[in-house]
Amino acid sequence: MYIYNSLSRKKEEFKPVHEGKAGIYACGPTVYNYFHIGNARPFITFDVLRRQLEREGYDVTFVQNFTDIDDKMIRRANEEGITVKELADRFIAEYYTDAKALGIRPATVHPKATEHIPEIIALVSRLIENGHAYATPSGDVYYRVSAFPGYGKLSGQRTEEREMGASDRLDVETEKESPEDFTLWKAQKPGEPAWDSPWGKGRPGWHIECSAMSMKYLGETFDIHCGGKDLLFPHHENEIAQSEGATGKPYVHYWMHNGFINVDNQKMSKSLNNFFTVRDISKEYDLEAVRLFMLSSHYRSPINFSRELIEAANASLNRLYTARNHLRFYVENGEDRPMNDDEKAFTERIKGYEKRFDDAMDDDLNTADALGAVFELVKDANVSIGEKSSKEAAETALGSLRALCGVLGFLTKEEDEIPAEIQQMLQEREEARKNKDWKRSDELRDALKDAGYIVEDTKNGQKVRKNV
C-alpha cells in the first residue's frame, strides 16, 4: 500500500514499525453534541483504511479517542445544569448510535482523556524536566516552542493566526514566554472540573491528551495518525512537538488528512444554516447511502454535500443490494452442477475485478476507483448469473461482492423477512400459474407491486424483491 504522507508531502510505501502489524490513531470527537457531517468523513475514511489493511493480512490496532473535557463541554454542562461527565456519557452513547448506522466499527480502544490523567501528567512532567515546557506561578503549564527546532515541519506554519497581534497576546497572557507557546495544563478556574497535579489543581490541554493516549496504546513511535485537514495545524503540529520533545524519537511515520466538506458549494457553518449533524441527516436518508457518497470521492479531495448527490448515492446502494439479492437467489435455486466453461471465464473476470479493487485501495486509498471495480463486478454478475447458472458460480460471485463491499462497509443490512400476507399472495400466485390462470397471476403481480414487492418469473421459481 502507498499512502500520501502529509509530513513528506508525497506518496510513500507503507512499511510498518512492527512486521505484520499496523498501529493507527484517529482523532475522535469532542463529545458535547451529536457529531456533524464533516466529522463523519474521517470516521468513515479511516474505518475503511483499517478494513483494507486487515484484508491485506495486517493485525491492526485502531485507537480513536473521546475528548471528554474541554471548554465547550464545561460551557454546555453548565448551561444544562449537569456534570461534564454526565454530558460526555450521553454523547458517547449517541456517537455509537450514529457510528453504527454509518457502518463504522468500534475502535480496538476508545480512550477517554479523563481516564488518562496520570499519563498526561507524567508526559507534561517529562517535558518540564527536559526544558521543553515550563510552569507558571498561577499553575498553567506551557510548551516552549523555541525548544523544538522541528516545529512547523508538518504544516509549514510556526504560529497560529489569530485576530490579535503578538504584542496584544503577550499583554493578555503575561505568563507566557512567547506568544507561540501553547497550553499543556490549565490551572483550575472556579466551578471547573480539576485534577491534582504537581502544579496545582487543573486539567489537561487538548493537544497533550492525544499525545499521551496514542503513545500509551501504540508506543512512542507508531505507524499512522489520521484526521481531518482542519487538525493539521495546530493540533497535529503540537502533538509532534510534545511527543518528540519528550521522547527524542520520531512520533508517527505516516500522517493522513482528509479534505473538507462543503454543503451546496458553500463552507459548512451554523451562520449559513447549512450545518447538519449526522442525526439530522438520518431522519431523511439512509446513512449507508451517506457512507457511499463519502467514499465516491478520493478522501483527500474536497467534496460537496447535496441532497441530489445523496439520492444518487442511494440509487447506487440499491444497485448493490439488488445484485446481492439476485446472487443469493441463484445460490439457493441455481443448478447443482460443476461450473461450465463460460462460468469459469466469469470467475476469472471476478479475480480481475478484485485485483483492480486492491490496486485502487493500495494507491492511497482510492475508494472512488475501488467502487468502480465493484460496480463492474455487479454489471457482469447481473448478465452472467441467471436461470441456467450453477450454484457454484453464483456463490463465487456473491462471496467476492460481499468481501469487497465488506471492506467499504456496505451490504450491512440483511434482506427483510417477507411478511406473512405477502408470502400468502406469492403462494396463491404460484398456484394460479400452475393452473394456467394467467389473469389471476397478473392481478396478484400488480397487487404485490402495489404492496412494494417486484416479482420476476424464472424457471427456478418466483424471484421477489422489495421495490426501493
pLDDT value at residue 385:
97
Summarised one tens digit per residue, pLDDT across range 265-309 is 887 776 777 888 999 999 999 999 999 999 999 999 999 999 899
Q: What are phi and psi of 193, to 5 degrees?
A: -60, 145
Crossing angle of helices 307-333 and 391-408, rounded to 10°: 150
pLDDT value at residue 338:
96
| Degrees, nearest 5: CA angle 128-133-135 | 80
- Model pTM score: 0.88
Summarised one tens digit per residue, pLDDT across range 73-82 is 999 999 999 9
Query: Residue 302, preceding bond cis, omega within 30 degrees?
Result: no
Summarised one tens digit per residue, pLDDT across range 86-107 is 999 999 999 999 999 999 999 9
Summarised one tens digit per residue, pLDDT across range 406-439 is 999 999 887 666 677 776 787 788 788 878 888 8
Q: Count CB neighbours of 417 within 10 A.
A: 8
What number of residues does the chain have?
Answer: 468
CA dihedral 149, 154, 159, 161 (to 10 degrees): 170
Greater confidence (152 vs 164) lies with 152
pLDDT value at residue 417:
61
Summarised one tens digit per residue, pLDDT across range 185-213 is 999 999 899 999 999 999 999 999 999 99
Q: How confident is the model at residue 170 (pLDDT cuts 50, 70, 90)?
A: very low
Summarised one tens digit per residue, pLDDT across range 306-355 is 989 999 999 999 999 999 999 999 999 999 999 999 999 999 999 999 99
How confident is the model over 442-455, as a mean pLDDT? 85
- For residue 193, the number of C-alpha atoms closer than 13 Å in the C-beta half-sphere is 22
Q: Whole-angstrom Cα distance, residue 114 to residue 91?
A: 15
Q: How confident is the model at residue 450 (pLDDT cuts 50, 70, 90)?
A: confident
